[in-house]
């Protein structure tokens, strides 16, 4: 199982990615983050295998 963290500043994009990836047998959604700072905290806490995110999100 590939533990995946979803990062995007647009909630609808995160929700869509979670929905699509959740239907994939080998992928488990480890968590979600809406910005770079939250993503780093989630990576430290959850230790995902993969981080999927959009371009352009900063540390805020």
Question: Burial code of 25-50, b = ≥16 C-beta within 10 A, e = fewer?
Answer: eebebbbbbbeeebbeebbeeeebee
Is the predicted pLDDT of residue 60 greater than 60, yes or no? no
Q: Which of 3.40.190.10, 3.90.1170.50, 3.20.20.20, 3.40.50.2300 would CATH assign to domain 2-53?
A: 3.40.50.2300
**Mean pLDDT calculated for residue range 37-58:** 89
Q: What tokens were used for 51?
A: 């981080």
Is the predicted pLDDT of residue 55 greater than 90, yes or no? no
Mapping DSSP to helix (H, G, I), strand (E, B) and coil, where does residue 1 land?
Answer: coil
> pTM for the complete prediction?
0.88
């Amino acid at each position: 199982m590939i533990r995946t963290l979803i990062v995007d500043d647009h909630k609808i994009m995160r929700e869509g990615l979670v929905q699509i990836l959740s239907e994939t047998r080998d992928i488990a959604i480890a968590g979600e983050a809406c910005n770079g700072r939250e993503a780093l905290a989630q990576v430290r806490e959850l230790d995902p295998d993969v981080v999927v995110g959009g371009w352009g999100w900063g540390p805020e």
